[in-house]
Structure 1
Amino acid sequence: MSHESRTESVPERLTVQDASSAAEPGRNDAAPRAGGSGTGSVDRAAATGGGLLLVGVALAAANMRPAVTSLSSVLGGVRDSLGAGATWASVLTSVPTLCFGVAGISAPLLARRWGMQRVVGVALGLLTLAMLVRVTGGATTVFAGTVVACGAIAMCNVLIPVVVKESFPHRVGMATGIYTTAMAAGGSIGSAFTPWLRTELGGWRLALATWSVLALAAFVIWSTAGRSASGGSSPAAPSRSAGDKSLVRSPLAWAVTGYFAMQSLVAYVIMGWLPEVFKSAGTGAGTAGALLGLVLLIGVPVSMVLPPLVTRTNGQSMWTVGLAATAIAGFLGILLAPMAAPVLWAVLVGTGMSAFPLALVLISLRSSNAAETSRLSGMAQSTGYLIASTGPFLFGVLHNTTGSWTASLLVLIGVLTVQAIIGVFAGRPRTV
């Protein structure tokens, strides 16, 4: 109990910040560079592979949202073109978080068997194929292709942060910043440009298929980097030792998991339905997609500056409340006067969505070592995403039942309120 009441120690903060800044002059990790029989050449080869791997990390991260946001920005047109019903659209928007929850359980098992870099490479290949196949048929094909695509994304979503920690132990902060920034940028361009591509290419099928090019580029770079980095070896997933504590009995672990679940639920409701909400208010399809792109674009600079800022404070409770309150203000604007200042509402909602990088920081700060971080991350992501998967479906069902977005938006505001309350407990400076 006394352990939980402590503030996080300096080493815990370094799991989020750039670890290279903490390296001491006399550390042994500098020794191999000095020379020796062959060690220097191996180190230089690893550094070269590591640079290519960093590019692969950025490209893989850039693919974690376009498959979702590109479809949501033209969802109404796709549904009408295929003659699909409202329930189909509601279920489709729930696919990403459901896949992420399942992958939170299966990804570590696959990584232990075949290695994380290999699993990520196969996932990127599947993502490329799925994004092509899903535009070739009817409603069932679109749904099945989206399930496979989101399953592939989910594998990357779970494993790439661990690859970053394993492959860039002295540049964790820098690599994580690149990872989260590329993720936000990919989601933004997927939403903003897909309506324009639909117009230019003559339909939604070619517009959605275009994003497979980005996935193919990530697959090629990642496959090459996986063979180059560390002489072709692949980091293994952290294993659990017999002495590890069970997180199921930790209230703090459940608080972190609950916070991750609530922010994920809100995020995927936004990515799945926000364009439709704006279109119902009177905006065109292109403008609605651009507004979602703006929401996601806000996350690019925030993902770069937020993690270093929050790790400098003794606790993160104020950050969790502030971000939730900002999102609530944006949704109140959309609810009460959607066309009065849609850009302002998008900026407020986008700022509030920065709870995602904050959730990743909390996972690191609320755990005391790497193995504990891995277990807490697995618990938060698997359980959190499964809970979040209900959000997009219920948001759409409420709209279909009531004939307006009012009830759906009020429930979402309620979820944000719960997120803020849970965040107060998750943000207190202690470890599980």
Structure 2
Amino acid sequence: MGDGRVSAVGGGLLLAGVALAAANMRPAVTSLSSILGGVRESLGASATWASMLTSVPTLCFGVAGISAPVLARRWGMQRVVGVALGLLTAAMVVRVTGAATTVLAGTVVACAAIAMCNVLIPVVVKESFPNRVGMATGLYTTAMAAGGSAGSAFTPWLRAELGGWRLALATWAVLALAAFAVWVPASRGHGSNTAPSAPGSSAESGRSLLRSPLAWAVTGYFGLQSLVAYVIMGWLPEVFKSAGTSASTAGALVGLVLLIGVPVSMVLPPLVTRTEGQSAWTVGLAATAITGFLGVLVAPLAAPLLWSLLIGVGMSAFPLALVLISLRTRNAAETSRLSGMAQSVGYLIASTGPFLFGMLHTVTGSWQASLLVLIGVLTAQGLLGVFAGRPRTV
């Protein structure tokens, strides 16, 4: 009985480590985007620099989808995640100590560290909590949404209270340090450090997922919803500020967009898994986001809270995409392969979004063309979702 209690305590500590790690998956991005205009002006940086900065997260995530399994097979998943959290802590401090190039380089390192966790922690969850995958995944996605919302909502306030953007951004390193401090002791003795399969590789007695139209539909759906999400986190504060809101109000509105994901991440996965197909869910979420962005396009200040609410609900395509990866596969090996493919290729697709969104604004001088293209991407996301949501497996 004693060993059982120790195991329970250790499992609880690991679950806390998972939650803290997940809470760090977005603040490095959303904290910077919420005050991006002020940071750019302070550093005298160009619009191209800002567009590159917003593209860094998804580009890093795509590369990590390929490299994370390789590193995990050599060093072990828990160790790689621990090192990644340590690097994240250091990068979030270092990036605020220099000029524009330092901010960009520090953000690259921070996002690469986040990307490693993004790929490996879900596998740790499956391995360490095989009988509580739903609960642990719900905790993971909820903590991720809460962290992203906090980064966007509180950073403008922190900048005002602390007297500058550097200390405001560096404050979020405390959250990363807490995750590192909990993860290191919590991960010892848990799991076999088995790494996920390489993206698209063939499992035993299985064909390559690269030949599966369904696998590509799921990957495309994952990629397009990620593209939309990182455009929102990278540029929506600037869109609201251009419409006439203050920096603090714009940050709060995007914080609301991300905060909506907290309750939705709790209730959506169980609801989705109870339906035979998920096509209606994918279309409904895309249509909701489109409605919100049409509001931002036509009358941004008429009902910004409503537009933010609708966009936030539409962003719940992320937990739906994770559910689709599980539902469209027959076993854990296929799930790991499809997850690797969806994250590596999907995030590389997504990396084009923030850069092009910002560059369209630079070329046209307004956000209208960028928003129209984003609405087109959401339409394509919904159409891909119809195919990916049909009840069958790869």
1:385 corresponds in structure 2 to 347
1:81 matched to 2:39? The reply is: no
1:107 corresponds in structure 2 to 68
Q: Which residue among 337, 353, 360 is the counterpart of 2:299?
A: 337
Q: Which residue among 170, 174, 199 is the counterpart of 1:213?
A: 174
Q: Which amino acid aligns with 1:408?
A: S
1:190 matched to 2:148? The reply is: no
Q: Which amino acid aligns with 2:368?
A: T
Shift of 1:41: 4.9
TM-score w.r.t. the length of structure 2 is 0.98
Matches within 5 A, 1:148-187: 148-187=109-148
Give the conservation status (yes or no) of the 8 Å contact 2:149–2:254. Answer: yes
Q: Which residue among 221, 229, 236 is the counterpart of 2:194?
A: 236
1:353 corresponds in structure 2 to 315
Q: Which amino acid aligns with 1:274?
A: L
Give the conservation status (yes or no) of the 8 Å contact 2:69–2:195. Answer: yes
Q: Which amino acid aligns with 1:60?
A: A
1:204 matched to 2:165? The reply is: yes
Matches within 5 A, 1:48-63: 48-63=9-24
1:264 matched to 2:226? The reply is: yes
Shift of 1:226: 1.2
Distance 1:201 1:75 in 2: 17
Q: Which amino acid aligns with 1:419?
A: Q
Deviations 1:355-394 (CA, angstroms, capped at 9, x unpaired): 0000000000000000000000000000000010000000
Shift of 1:48: 1.9
1:15 corresponds in structure 2 to none
Shift of 1:345: 0.2
Q: Which amino acid aligns with 1:357?
A: P
1:289 corresponds in structure 2 to 251
Distance 1:89 1:146 in 2: 12
Distance 1:109 1:45 in 2: 32
Distance 2:145 2:192 in 1: 27
Q: Which amino acid aligns with 1:345?
A: W
Q: Which amino acid aligns with 1:118?
A: R
Shift of 1:43: 4.2
Q: Which amino acid aligns with 2:357?
A: F
Distance 1:125 1:150 in 2: 13
1:371 corresponds in structure 2 to 333
Q: Which residue among 58, 82, 90 is the counterpart of 1:129?
A: 90
2:384 corresponds in structure 1 to 422
Give the conservation status (yes or no) of the 8 Å contact 1:63–1:153. Answer: yes
Percent identical residues: 83
Q: How many residues align?
A: 390
Larger Rg: 1
Deviations 1:159-206 (CA, angstroms, capped at 9, x unpaired): 000000000011111101100000000000000000000000000000
Which stretches of structure 1, 4 residues or longer, exceed 6 Å deviation after superposition?
A: none
**C-alpha RMSD over aligned residues:** 1.0
Distance 2:384 2:230 in 1: 19
Show structure 1 runs of 5+ residues with no match. 1-39
TM-score w.r.t. the length of structure 1 is 0.89
Q: Which amino acid aligns with 1:225?
A: A
Shift of 1:236: 1.0
1:140 matched to 2:137? The reply is: no
Distance 2:142 2:161 in 1: 28
- What secondary structure, in the 3-state scheme, does the structure 2 residue paired with 1:244 have? coil
Give the conservation status (yes or no) of the 8 Å contact 2:78–2:193. Answer: yes
Q: Which residue among 85, 89, 92 is the counterpart of 2:53?
A: 92
